[in-house]
C-alpha cells in the first residue's frame, strides 16, 4: 500500500489515520505552506520502506512504517487544517488551486478484492 494527500494552497497540515481492530493511529502527516503550491510526499506501507517520522515543529512530512494490513471493518480517515483567507468570498471545495481547497487522500492497495474499492464497499 501507499498513500499521498491532495490539497491546495490553503492547507497547512494534512493528517491521515488508520483504525485497525478499533485502534486509531496516525499513518501520515504532511505540511503545506500557505499560498504556495503543495508538494505532497508518497508514503509507502510495506515491509521495506522506512518512512521518516513526521515532525510538526520543523514541518517535516512523514508517516508510519511497515505493512498496513487492513481488513473489512477497518477504516481510513483524514483531516486538513485550512486557513480561510480568501476574503470576502471564503473558501469553497473546488478544483481551484488558489481560490478553493480540497482535502483528499489517494493511494494504492494490494491484493485485489476483485473490484475497485471506493471506501464504501462492504
Can you give the residue range of the structural domain that contains 98?
2-108
Domain count, the chain: 1
Express as a percent the part of the chain with pLDDT over 70: 93
pLDDT band at 42 (very low <50, low <70, confident <90, very high): very high
What's the pLDDT score for residue 120? 54
- Specify the pTM: 0.87
Classify residue 73: in a domain, yes or no.
yes
Classify residue 102: in a domain, yes or no.
yes
Classify residue 116: in a domain, yes or no.
no
Classify residue 113: in a domain, yes or no.
no
Express as a percent the part of the chain with pLDDT over 90: 75
Classify residue 7: in a domain, yes or no.
yes
37 has pLDDT over 90: yes
For the chain, give the DSSP string: -EEEEEE-TTEEEEEEEEEETTEEEEEEEE---TTS---PPPEE-SSS--PPPPBTTTTB-EE--S-----TT-EEEEEEEE----TTT---BSS-TTT-B-EEEEEE-SS--SS---S---
**Model confidence pLDDT, tens digit, residues 49-81:** 999 999 999 999 999 999 999 888 899 999 999
Classify residue 114: in a domain, yes or no.
no
What's the pLDDT score for residue 72? 85
Classify residue 117: in a domain, yes or no.
no
Classify residue 18: in a domain, yes or no.
yes
Amino acid at each position: 500500500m501507499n498513500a499521498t494527500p491532495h490539497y491546495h494552497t490553503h492547507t497547512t497540515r494534512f493528517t491521515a489515520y488508520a483504525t485497525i481492530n478499533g485502534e486509531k493511529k496516525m499513518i501520515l502527516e504532511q505540511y503545506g505552506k500557505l499560498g504556495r503550491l503543495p508538494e505532497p510526499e508518497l508514503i509507502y506501507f510495506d515491509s521495506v520502506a522506512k518512512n521518516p517520522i513526521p515532525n510538526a515543529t520543523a514541518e517535516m512530512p512523514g508517516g508510519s512504517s511497515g505493512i498496513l494490513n487492513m481488513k473489512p471493518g477497518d477504516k481510513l480517515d483524514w483531516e486538513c487544517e485550512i486557513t480561510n483567507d480568501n476574503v470576502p468570498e471564503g473558501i469553497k471545495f473546488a478544483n481551484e488551486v488558489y481560490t478553493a481547497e480540497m482535502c483528499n487522500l489517494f493511494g494504492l492497495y494490494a491484493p485485489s478484492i476483485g473490484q475497485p474499492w471506493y471506501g464504501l464497499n462492504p
